[in-house]
Amino acid sequence: MEAKELIEKIKENVIQGRINKEDEGFDEGLDGEPGTVELIEEAIKTDVDAEQMVINGLTAGMEIVGARFESGEYLIPDMLASAEAVGAAMDLLAPHLEKSGVKSRGKFLIATVKGDLHDIGKNIVSIMLKGAGYEVIDLGTDVPAEKIAETAEQQKPKFVGLSALLTTTMREMENVINTLKDKGMRDDVKILIGGAPTSREFAEKIGADVHCADAFQAVEYTNSIN
Ligand code: B12
């Protein structure tokens, strides 16, 4: 299969929520055909660009899943199946995105804020930053402001990255910034925010340093001030 075709098939399989060939998929009856994992393995073997797989395969697939959820066609278990397919793909792709042997460019503390369990985007950002040579401290999902501030106090990172995918939890980002202010640490770090509902205007409003629409912008920003 050609690179373009493989990437298109990876996207389709994410939409179908198929991890591997045993899964029947949202449309059913697809079992037996290569799933996300088999396709990623083939793509890696044939040297398809890993970043292209992430952008045009995994992320593009999740965008469609989100639209289908919004329209009512997909329910939560469907979204979850797709998320699991992306997770399995990222496990295989991580070593290809993290180029080894790069000197550390500083610590980057990252977390999905309190109340929010979405971590696919955050994980992609973490992997890309590791690939660019940053030492990433990933606190996971649903992380309270206090925990982020305490870790920043101990680890003294150069950057703090916050992720939120819900309009309700994005407000928690301001709380994190205020907690850092209260501890007198706000000016010691650069704060990056991201996630679908966030924007440049929102970043300005809550006093973050920058909003990033994707993982590439995050790397561009951190490199630009390093
Ligand atoms: C997968 C998914 C889930 C999965 C999450 C699995 C997981 N492990 O992450 C599950 C099924 C668990 C889930 C649950 C829910 N979800 Co959901 N989910 C999604 C979905 C379809 C995709 C998100 C995703 O992974 N996108 C792909 C990644 C690659 O993109 P990304 O996250 O935007 O990240 C990129 C950038 O934003 C940026 N970025 C992200 N974070 C950061 C951080 C930093 C520091 C930087 C620099 C950059 C950055 O870089 C990333 C990589 O390029 C979205 C739809 C959408 N359009 O976003 C809905 C969506 C976010 N979910 C939604 C909802 C409503 C829910 C639930 C409330 C559903 C429910 N009723 O229970 C729950 C909430 C659970 C909770 N408390 O968090 C709504 C939110 C609506 C709103 N206005 O708030 C959405 C928008 C769907 C919709 N259209 O209605 N969800």
Topology (CATH) of 107-224 = Rossmann fold (3.40.50)
Q: How far is the CA of 181 from the centre of ligand 1 (A)?
A: 28
Q: Where in the chain is the domain with CATH 3.40.50.280?
A: 107-224
Closest residue by Cα to atom 35, ligand 1, is 121
Q: Are 74 and 68 in contact (CB under 8 A)?
A: yes
- Residue 176 has a pLDDT of 98
Residue 70 beta carbon below 6 angstroms from any ligand 1 atom: yes
- Residue 98 has a pLDDT of 76
Write down the H helix ranges in the chain: 3-16, 36-45, 50-52, 60-70, 76-97, 120-131, 145-155, 172-182, 200-206, 215-224
Q: Residue 199 half-sphere exposure, CB side, CA atoms within 13 Å?
A: 5
Closest residue by Cα to atom 32, ligand 1, is 121
Tally of CB atoms within 10 A around 2: 9
- Residue 103 has a pLDDT of 64
**Range with lowest mean pLDDT among 81-90, 91-100, 133-142, 160-169:** 91-100
Q: How far is the CA of 116 from the centre of ligand 1 (A)?
A: 9
Measured distance CA(172)–CA(183) in Å, rounded: 17
Tally of CB atoms within 10 A around 81: 19
Residue 12 beta carbon below 6 angstroms from any ligand 1 atom: no
Q: How far is the CA of 194 from the centre of ligand 1 (A)?
A: 11
Q: How far is the CA of 164 from the centre of ligand 1 (A)?
A: 8
- Does 104 have pLDDT greater than 80? no
- Does 167 have pLDDT greater than 90? yes
Q: How far is the CA of 119 from the centre of ligand 1 (A)?
A: 8
- Does 13 have pLDDT greater than 60? yes
Q: Of all residues in the chain, what percent carry a pLDDT higher than 90?
A: 81
Q: Where in the chain is the domain with CATH 1.10.1240.10?
A: 3-97
Residue 123 beta carbon below 6 angstroms from any ligand 1 atom: no
Two tokens at 107?
Answer: 């610590």
Closest residue by Cα to atom 31, ligand 1, is 121
- β-strand partners of 42: none
Question: Which pTM value belongs to this model?
Answer: 0.89
Q: What is the CATH number of domain 3-97?
A: 1.10.1240.10
